[in-house]
Amino acid sequence: MAKTADVIIIGGGVHGASMAFHLARRGVKPLVLERKFVAAGATGRSSGLVRMHYDLREEAELVWRSFAYFRNWDEMVGGDSGFVRTGFIRIVQPEYEAALRANVKMQQEVGIPTLLVTGGDIKRLAPYMVTDDFSVAAYEPESGYADPSGTAMSLMTAARRLGATLKSGTAVAEVLANDSKVIGVKSADGTEYHAPAVVDAAGAWADRIAAMVGLTLPLTTWSHDVMFIRRPKSVGLSHPTVIDDQQEMYFRPERGGLTLVGLECDNPLGEDPDGDTDHAHPGYVERAVDHICHRIPVMEEGSLHSAYKGYDGLSSDQRAILGPAGPEGFWLNCGHSGTGFKIAPATGESLTEWMLDGVPHTVDIRPFTFDRFAAGRPLRGEHPYADIWR
């Protein structure tokens, strides 16, 4: 006899956990099916930046609402997201400085605490940084980073406390449909789970799930390598979190005197997401060291702690794919393209409203629907920067 639930969520990453939490908070009984364990995929390899600088207004609205969760996690969810306030700096290439100014203005209209600063301002904040190659940057004094795995686990724990069910070690082999309506899924061991709604939150594997209902998602995988440096004492106990387009990288502090460095160039696309994630690609560490030392020369005195890689689903316009698609009752929450962690709380909240109320109230996420691709409506900000993953 098939097991039943109100909603089946495929994927136990931060977005699946957020969906489970918000659905359960509304009295719905969701079932989360995770093929390994919570945060086993992209979430567990996320760098965890909690910043609010986007060139697309809807994403700025999602991250601003999500920031309320990170800032008040214990009250709004329970437990701990591991949020650490460091301040955040966004440096762009000179040709995008006008776009930076326009985007900061848009973000301020949304309510985000952000301001324009000069290279001299940054030099006073972080005297070890090279700042003579840009005239203006964006600064968010309240932003920082959080613990992605801890965040997902905290959301899942809260969801289970409210009535959600988690089944780890359960891979989905088939999405079941009848008369153009989903009725549930079948797991790899042959067990059937029935529900009138199924959410594809499978991250880098989301296209495989969607194909089970005849959908061809414009998704590939992108691989992101990360290294941790034991930073020299001259940098101090911490430093701001930074996205540096000129050096094609981002970096943030980590507990234990470490600095995390990720590159935004030469990230391989189309690799198997089941590949090795315990080791970075050959040559990555050397490239990353070169990039970070251009911005913080004293990092040459640091030493390598560790390096690894992860995989995420990359959509053709590098934005999330959200909402109903395919047979009735099938929903997408995927294609987050490496920027999904920080918007997960509000995405789950808004998608839950869409499912239960017929319209998303918190943030209008309807522009993120799958049909935008066939209609030729890729999501672009009014003042866009270059694509990150290229």
List the Cα angle 264/266/267 in 5-degree steps. 70
So what's the pLDDT on residue 386? 84
d(CA 171, CA 10): 9
Contact 284, 264 (CB under 8 A): no
Mean pLDDT along residues 109-138: 97
Identify the sign of the CA torsion 354, 358, 364, 365: positive
d(CA 89, CA 246): 13
Query: What is the set of domains in the chain, with CATH numbers?
Result: 3-45+149-218+317-374 (3.50.50.60), 85-142+220-313 (3.30.9.10)
Q: Is the pLDDT of residue 66 over 80?
A: yes
Mean pLDDT along residues 40-62: 96
So what's the pLDDT on residue 128? 97
So what's the pLDDT on residue 1? 61
So what's the pLDDT on residue 389? 60
So what's the pLDDT on residue 159? 98
Reported as a single tens digit per residue, the pLDDT across 225-269 is 999 999 999 999 999 999 999 999 999 999 999 999 999 998 999
Q: Is the pLDDT of residue 388 over 90?
A: no
So what's the pLDDT on residue 266? 86
Q: Is the pLDDT of residue 205 over 80?
A: yes
So what's the pLDDT on residue 387? 77
Both structure tokens of 348: 């789950």
How far is residue 120 from each of residues 143, 250, 307, 319, measured CA to CA in Å? 20, 20, 33, 34
Reported as a single tens digit per residue, the pLDDT across 282-311 is 999 999 999 999 999 999 999 999 999 999
Rg of the chain's alpha carbons, rounded to an integer?
21
What is the pTM assigned to this prediction? Answer: 0.96
